[in-house]
Every structure is written in structure tokens, then in C-alpha cells.
């Protein structure tokens, strides 16, 4: 369980109990844990109030000036409904929109970079998009990205953060809660909704080497009895990035409306549009067996990697609507629908390095793909008692369809040869034949129809149990360009969830849980010899024992987990196969402590043991799973001086252990450490609240490799200076 802590806002102050841990802060400091960027100028006052045994103080700011309160102490749990984090038998991490600003976050990578369970697999500073693994397992961008709990197409896409009030990470399996999805977890984006009081803010931002951002956030209510509400967000971003040939252009618009038809019945509508284009992107780098290993990332000439014809563009739109009806004090029902579409255009290169001198061949893949998603969900949630036993039940049903369209073009299937280059010298490479194929065909369609039910049974004030089950009818068809079905898969699995919870005190929970899940099967990439082979769903199961606590001056979280997942990978003959099991066993622990009214420390650690088992290929059997570090450590120190309360400064960082690049463990990327520095200052100008933020990410310009998909690597982002100013009026 991890939560946000926002300065100067009492509702956030208690909520910040971010990243609980079994480790004391003193131990974290003594072992030299790296430190973090998240700053919060109000935590000192909160700690002082706790020392006095009082409730947290109210901030002397009018309600009209305050942003809407994000419920960082709660998390959406799919078929479980909304629960307090401390009351769920799963590992969670919630980040509010205000915390995102303090982190200078532009992607989910930034939001969760100080979570020890999260390791970056790519960054959109140079790669197509930002992606991360959780406990060594990748997030499924086709099934595990949600908007308000419903599936959203995010294949190689970064959702802009401005339209969202908070982002929730559910670590581990989610079969009962959300249906099909990889065991890495679920990332749920919660839309900003209308505010009861008028809210208006304008933000301008800067990122080196010349990217400027302007954002507007407006909210409020109108009409008789303020029955109509609105929330509008507009964003424009444009400028040259720090990378060679780098330029980013981003536009975002979102609108959320609601109508309180009666005091018990509310109708909601929302729309979201985003378009982002980045020049100077790179799909990835592969190092052959004759390359002599992966070189030191600091020796690479980054300008030698991308070419003028390299770019990446995504455009997405979404529409959602729903009805929420309070049936009684203890019962409510809702029904919601969402349509979403993504257009993706890539014209970026894969570099294959064939010798120790750094010589490579550059193959540019140019294509367009489209994704269409539809979701319909209905849920009833309520409470009742049978004698002395209390029940919190959820019953629901849902239907989801996904359709993928691919280019039938040379640029997608074979790519265009740009020529040869070298990692250490700049060479201009072009090909006049490069074009993005506009003729699309339906490549895949999947449907899921599901019914589910759960009962959280409270036996005593301390002891409770969760029983949940989901039945899913899953269908998958894969087509070739002639509309012929090349593979077909159907399944009707039952995925249960069982958990036992014990409250050691009102603020703490010990739990043990068991979860089963299915995920959509993998498919061979166009770099594999058996492309476009597609495989059926993968099954996973997870056991977890954990402890969560959330007190006024300290918080802690400890999870011991074991996951078995069916394995698909690229073998040593460059065939994509599905064989055997990936086994993950580890400890995920983190915590925070207010040392004094001015100083606060927090940090976390993850230890992870991974192994491939029951594999037919002796080159893979017993090896570490690719993309999974054995050890990760995070931490941060925040200072809010008593003599200057509007100011907060923070210093933080993260250590990530080495990772295998491929399933056979023939290559590894080395461990790395990054540091960040940030500050925030709150003041008033002409009677209006203004917040200034500034920081440096990757302070010492550490160059390192990340790895993904079991076959290639990407370069990290460089040192980046960031700054912003927000006027709230």
C-alpha cells in the first residue's frame, strides 16, 4: 500500500503514508538508501499535530481555492469495488494528481519510479514509449491499462496524466478483479470529475532542452441546486528534446460532466482526446553473439542512433458514460460504458549490432496500427448481516471487445534497410522508399463476457475473509490480410480469489491471499522467424502474505509473494515459443517515518528470485527470467525548514540490480543508480495562490541500459532540468 502526501492540504497529509515498510527509516539511512524527489511542505505541520495527539490541522485556504481531494487512501479494485488500501489483501500504490506534479511526472514511469517493486523497461525520451515491470513482470498494455476500471488501448502509448485525478497500481495478479491480464498488475487511471466548488488553475512548464508545456484545469457546478458539474483539462506541449533529432508535440483535451438527476441518481459523461508525436525515436537495439557483449552505455554516441526519418505518433480518443444509483444507505448500483480508439504510427528503427567495434545494421519499421475497445459493466455492491457476521458483497457482469488492425505493408513485415552505422560515430542514413502503409486489415479480435461475485465476510471486528470468483467466456480470432482466420482460441475459465485478513489494530492488517489469472497469449514479433505465430492464453497463480499499517507518523508495508506464470519467450534459434513456467519469489517492503517536524525519510527494498522451470530447452531451464532485477532499493529525504515553511526540498534516488536481456541469460545489462533533486515553493501573488517547482532528474547524468521483451535493450534518459509554475485562482 502506498499513498500520496501533498503539502498544505490536510486530506492529503494523512493520505501520504506512501510505501509502508518493515524497515525502519534509521536502517534505511544506515545502509545508504538512495533518496527521493517527492516534496511536501505540509508534512512537518502534520507530524507536529500528531505529536500533540491532535487531529491534523486545517489549512487556512478557502475551499474555492483548493483542488478537489483525491482519495489516496482508497483504491479501485475492479470486481471488489472501491476499498481502503489498508483493508485490501493485495499490494497497491496510489498516486494523486498533486503528487504527480511534485514528481514532475509525465508518464506512469515517473509516478512509480520510487516504488521498489517497479523497474523501468523503456523511456519515451528515446524509445517509443515508457514502460515498466512490477516485481520483474511486465504490465500488459493491451489488457492491464484501465480508465475508471475499464480496459483502454495503450499499446506502446503513454497516457497523459493531466486529465486524471489519481493513478492506481495493483501489484500482481488480477484475474478475479479485472479478468484477463498479465500478472505484473493493473494500472488504473481515475478521471478528474466535477468539483463542488469552483476550481481554476493554469500551469506553465519547461523541460530541457527546450520543451514548453501549458495546461488549464477548470471545474465547478452550475444550474438549479448545482445539479450540473463539469471538469475541463486542456494541454499543449511542444519543443526540442535533449536527444538527437528529438522533438515532441503533444495535445490533450478532456471533459467530464455529471448530472445529479436526483439526490440518489447521478449520470456521468466524459470524453478524452490525445495526440502525441515524437521525433528521434528508436525501437531498440539488439546485440548479436559476435558483438562481444553489451558495451558501457556511457560510451555510446547517442546522436549515432536515430535518424531524421525516425518518429513515433499515437492518437487516441475515448468516450464514457454511466449511471450510479444509491439504492439505500448500504446498497448502490452502477452501470457504465466506454468506447476507446487508438491510432498508432511508427517509423522507427531497430539496430542490430554485429561486432565488438559497434557496427550495426539499421532496419526501419514503418506502419500504422489501430485498436478499438468497447466495455459494458454493471455492478451492485451492498452490506448486510447474518446474525453476528457481516457481509460486504459485490455482484456484477461485463462484456469487453478488442479489435486490432495492422498495416499490410513492407514497412511492417520486413522493414526498410537504412544502411549501416556505428555506435560511436554519427552517420546520416536515409531511404527514399520509406512509407507508412495505410491499407489496414483486421489482425485480431477478442471478446470477454464475464460474471463475478465476491463476499467479504467479517467474523469479528478483527477477522475477515474474502471469497471471490469470476467466470469468463473468452474468444480470440487471428486473421491474415485476406480475412482468413489463421488461429482461433476459446476458453471459459473460472478464476477464484481467496484471502484471510486480520486487523492487528484499526490502522493495520495482516493478510494471506491466493489469486488465479489468465492473460492473452503472446505473438511472435516481426523480428522472429515464426512471425506472425500467435499462442493461446497463459495461466498464472499467486500466493501472497503481507502486512500493512498506516499511522499518523509512520507507515509500513511488507509482502512476501510467489507467482507461477506460463512462459513465452524467444529461444536461441530466434523462434517465439510458449513453454514451461516462469517462477517469481520475493519480498517487497517499504516505509516512511517523520523523524522531526522538519525531516522525513522513506524508502523501500525488493528482493526477487526468478527461475525458468519445466522448460524443454536446456538452454533456458533453470535460468533467470529476463527483465527481472534481483535487488532494488529506493529512498528519499525531505526537508521542510521551520523558518521557511513554504519551501520543501527533497533528494532521492533508486538502485536497480542487473537484469538478463534474453531467456538464455547470454547477455545482461548492469546495475545502475540514479539520483534526483527537487524543490517547491508556495506563495501568493496579487492575492492568488502560486506554486513554483523546479528539479533535476538523473542528477549525475547516469547512462544505463534497460531491457524488454526478452530480446533487445534501450538507452536511458539523460539528465533533465524541469520547472513549472501553477496559478490557482
What is the C-alpha separation between 19 and 510, in angstroms, rounded? 16
Can you tell me the mean pLDDT for 563-586? 90
> 21 CB contacts (<8 Å, ≥6 apart)?
28, 555, 556, 557, 558, 589, 590, 591, 592, 602, 603, 604, 605
DSSP characters over 286-329: EE-TTS-SPPPGGGS-GGGT--TT-EEEEEEEEEEEEEEEE-SS
C-beta separation of 566 from 612 below 8 A: no
Average pLDDT, the chain: 87
Selection from 625, 534, 526 nearest residue 574 by Cα: 526
Task: Using a pLDDT cut of 90, give the percent of the chain over it.
Answer: 71
Which value, to the nearest 10 degrees, does the dihedral of the CA atoms of residues 656, 660, 662, 665 take?
Answer: 180
Can you tell me the mean pLDDT for 152-160? 89
Can you tell me the mean pLDDT for 485-501? 89
Q: How many residues does the chain have?
A: 729
Q: Taking the mean position of all CA atoms in its chain, how far away is CA 686? A: 38
Given this model, what pLDDT does residue 486 score? 85
Can you tell me the mean pLDDT for 637-664? 96
pLDDT confidence bin for 528, thresholds 50/70/90: confident
Task: Using a pLDDT cut of 70, give the percent of the chain over it.
Answer: 90
What is the CA angle 600-606-607, rounded to 5? Answer: 145
b/e code 542-552 from CB counts within 10 Å (16+ = b): bbbebbbbbbb
Can you tell me the mean pLDDT for 406-433? 91
Residues forming beta bridges with residue 570, ordered by sequence position: 576
Residue 14 scores a pLDDT above 80: no
Residue 567 scores a pLDDT above 60: yes
pLDDT tens track for 538-556: 889 999 999 999 898 999 9
DSSP code of residue 88: S
Residue 109, number of CB atoms within 10 A of its CB:
20
What is the C-alpha separation between 722 and 714, in angstroms, rounded? 23
C-beta separation of 675 from 698 below 8 A: yes
Residue 17 scores a pLDDT above 90: no
Given this model, what pLDDT does residue 2 score? 53
Which value, to the nearest 10 degrees, does the dihedral of the CA atoms of residues 284, 705, 663, 348 take?
Answer: -10
Residue 204 scores a pLDDT above 80: yes
Given this model, what pLDDT does residue 28 score? 34
Which value, to the nearest 10 degrees, does the dihedral of the CA atoms of residues 57, 63, 68, 69 take?
Answer: 20
pLDDT tens track for 587-638: 999 999 999 999 999 999 999 999 999 998 899 999 999 999 999 999 999 9
DSSP characters over 376-425: EEEEEEEEEEETTEEEEEEEEEEEEEEEEEEE-SHHHHT-EEEEEEETTB
Can you tell me the mean pLDDT for 477-481? 90
| Residue 610 to residues 121, 440, 470, 628, Cα–Cα distance (Å) | 17, 40, 28, 7
Residues forming beta bridges with residue 370, ordered by sequence position: 343, 405
pLDDT confidence bin for 297, thresholds 50/70/90: very high
Can you tell me the mean pLDDT for 321-330? 96
Given this model, what pLDDT does residue 72 score? 64
Radius of gyration of the chain (CA): 25
Selection from 584, 590, 495 nearest residue 548 by Cα: 590
pLDDT confidence bin for 321, thresholds 50/70/90: very high
pLDDT tens track for 67-96: 333 456 788 767 777 778 888 899 999 999
pLDDT tens track for 20-69: 333 333 333 333 333 333 333 344 343 344 343 333 333 333 333 333 33
What is the C-alpha separation between 652 and 698, in angstroms, rounded? 10
Can you tell me the mean pLDDT for 172-178? 81
C-beta separation of 469 from 493 below 8 A: no
Q: Which domains does the chain have, with CATH numbers?
A: 10-728 (2.40.170.20)
Residue 217 scores a pLDDT above 90: yes
Given this model, what pLDDT does residue 1 score? 58
pLDDT tens track for 131-140: 999 999 998 8
pLDDT confidence bin for 537, thresholds 50/70/90: confident
pTM here?
0.89
What is the C-alpha separation between 708 and 317, in angstroms, rounded? 27
Residue 719 scores a pLDDT above 80: yes
Amino acid at each position: 500500500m502506498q499513498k500520496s502526501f501533498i503539502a498544505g492540504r490536510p486530506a492529503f497529509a494523512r493520505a501520504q503514508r506512501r510505501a509502508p515498510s518493515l524497515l525502519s527509516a534509521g536502517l534505511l539511512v544506515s545502509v545508504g538508501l538512495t533518496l527521493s524527489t517527492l516534496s511536501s511542505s505540509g508534512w512537518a505541520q502534520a507530524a507536529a499535530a500528531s505529536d500533540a495527539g491532535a487531529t491534523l490541522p486545517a489549512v487556512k485556504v478557502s475551499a474555492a481555492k483548493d483542488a478537489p481531494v483525491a482519495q489516496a487512501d482508497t483504491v479501485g479494485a475492479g470486481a471488489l469495488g472501491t476499498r481502503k488500501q489498508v483493508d485490501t489483501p493485495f499490494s497497491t500504490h496510489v498516486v494523486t494528481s498533486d503528487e504527480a506534479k511534485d514528481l514532475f511526472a509525465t508518464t506512469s514511469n515517473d509516478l512509480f519510479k520510487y516504488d521498489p517493486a517497479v523497474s523501468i523497461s523503456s523511456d519515451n525520451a528515446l524509445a517509443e514509449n515508457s514502460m515498466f515491470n512490477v516485481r520483474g513482470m511486465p504490465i500488459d498494455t493491451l489488457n492491464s491499462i484501465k480508465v475508471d476500471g475499464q480496459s483502454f488501448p495503450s499499446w506502446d502509448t503513454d497516457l497523459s496524466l493531466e486529465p486524471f485525478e489519481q493513478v492506481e497500481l495493483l501489484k500482481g495478479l488480477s484475474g478475479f478483479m479485472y479478468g484477463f491480464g498479465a500478472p505484473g498488475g493493473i494500472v488504473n487511471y481515475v478521471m478528474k470529475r466535477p468539483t463542488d466548488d469552483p476550481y481554476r488553475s493554469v500551469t506553465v512548464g519547461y523541460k530541457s532542452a527546450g520543451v514548453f508545456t501549458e495546461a488549464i484545469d477548470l471545474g465547478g457546478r452550475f444550474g438549479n441546486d448545482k445539479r450540473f458539474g463539469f471538469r475541463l483539462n486542456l494541454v499543449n506541449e511542444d519543443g526540442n528534446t535533449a536527444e538527437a533529432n528529438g522533438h515532441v508535440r503533444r495535445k490533450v483535451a478532456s471533459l467530464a460532466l455529471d448530472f445529479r438527476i436526483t439526490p440518489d441518481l447521478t449520470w456521468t459523461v466524459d470524453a478524452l482526446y490525445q495526440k502525441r508525436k515524437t521525433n528521434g525515436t528508436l525501437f531498440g537495439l539488439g546485440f548479436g553473439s559476435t558483438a562481444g557483449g553489451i558495451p558501457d552505455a556511457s560510451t555510446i554516441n547517442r546522436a549515432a542512433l536515430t535518424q531524421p526519418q525516425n518518429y513515433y505518433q499515437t492518437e487516441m480518443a475515448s468516450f464514457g458514460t454511466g449511471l450510479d444509483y444509491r439504492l439505500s444507505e448500504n446498497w448502490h448500483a452502477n452501470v457504465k460504458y466506454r468506447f476507446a480508439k487508438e491510432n498508432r504510427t511508427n517509423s522507427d528503427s531497430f539496430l542490430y549490432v554485429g561486432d565488438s567495434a559497434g557496427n550495426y545494421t539499421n532496419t526501419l519499421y514503418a506502419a500504422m496500427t489501430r485498436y478499438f475497445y468497447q466495455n459494458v459493466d454493471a455492478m451492485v455492491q451492498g452490506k448486510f448481516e447474518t446474525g453476528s457476521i457481516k457481509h460486504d458483497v459485490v455482484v456484477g457482469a461485463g462484456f469487453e471487445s478488442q479489435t486490432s488492425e495492422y498495416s499490410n505493408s513492407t514497412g511492417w513485415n520486413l522493414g526498410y534497410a537504412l544502411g549501416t552505422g556505428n555506435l560511436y560515430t554519427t552517420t546520416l542514413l536515409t531511404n527514399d522508399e520509406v512509407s507508412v502503409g495505410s491499407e489496414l486489415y483486421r489482425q485480431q479480435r477478442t471478446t470477454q463476457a464475464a460474471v463475478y461475485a465476491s463476499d467479504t465476510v467479517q467474523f469479528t471486528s478483527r477477522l475477515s475473509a474474502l471469497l471471490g470468483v469470476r467466470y469468463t467466456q473468452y474468444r480470440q480470432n487471428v486473421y491474415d490480410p485476406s480475412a482468413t482466420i489463421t488461429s482461433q482460441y476459446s476458453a471459459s475459465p473460472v478464476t477464484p480469489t481467496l484471502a484471510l485478513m486480520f486487523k492487528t489494530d484499526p490502522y493495520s492488517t495482516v493478510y494471506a491471499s491466493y489469486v488465479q489469472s489468465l492473460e492473452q497469449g503472446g505473438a511472435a514479433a516481426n523480428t522472429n522467424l515464426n512471425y506472425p505465430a500467435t499462442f493461446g492464453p497463459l495461466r498464472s497463480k499467486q500466493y501472497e502474505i503481507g502486512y500493512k499499517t498506516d499511522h499518523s507518523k509512520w507507515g509500513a508495508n511488507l509482502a512476501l509473494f510467489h507467482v507461477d506464470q506460463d512462459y513465452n519467450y524467444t529461444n536461441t534459434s530466434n523462434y517465439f515459443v510458449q513453454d514451461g513456467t516462469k517462477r517469481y519469489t520475493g519480498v517487497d517492503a517499504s516505509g516512511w517515518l517523520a523523524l522531526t517536524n522538519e525531516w522525513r525519510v522513506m524508502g523501500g527494498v525488493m528482493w526477487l528470485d526468478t527461475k525458468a522451470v519445466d522448460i524443454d530447452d536446456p538452454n533456458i531451464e533453470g535460468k533467470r527470467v529476463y527483465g527481472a532485477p534481483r535487488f532494488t532499493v529506493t529512498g528519499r529525504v525531505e526537508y521542510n525548514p521551520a523558518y521557511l515553511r513554504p519551501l520543501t526540498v527533497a533528494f532521492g534516488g533508486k538502485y536497480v540490480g542487473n537484469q538478463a536481456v534474453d531467456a538464455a541469460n547470454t547477455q545482461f545489462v548492469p546495475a545502475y543508480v540514479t539520483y534526483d533533486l527537487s524543490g517547491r515553493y508556495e506563495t501568493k501573488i496579487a492575492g492568488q495562490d502560486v506554486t513554483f517547482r523546479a528539479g533535476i532528474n538523473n542528477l549525475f547524468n547516469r547512462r544505463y541500459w534497460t531491457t524488454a521483451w526478452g530480446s533487445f535493450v534501450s538507452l536511458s534518459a539523460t539528465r533533465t532540468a524541469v520547472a513549472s509554475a501553477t496559478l490557482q485562482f
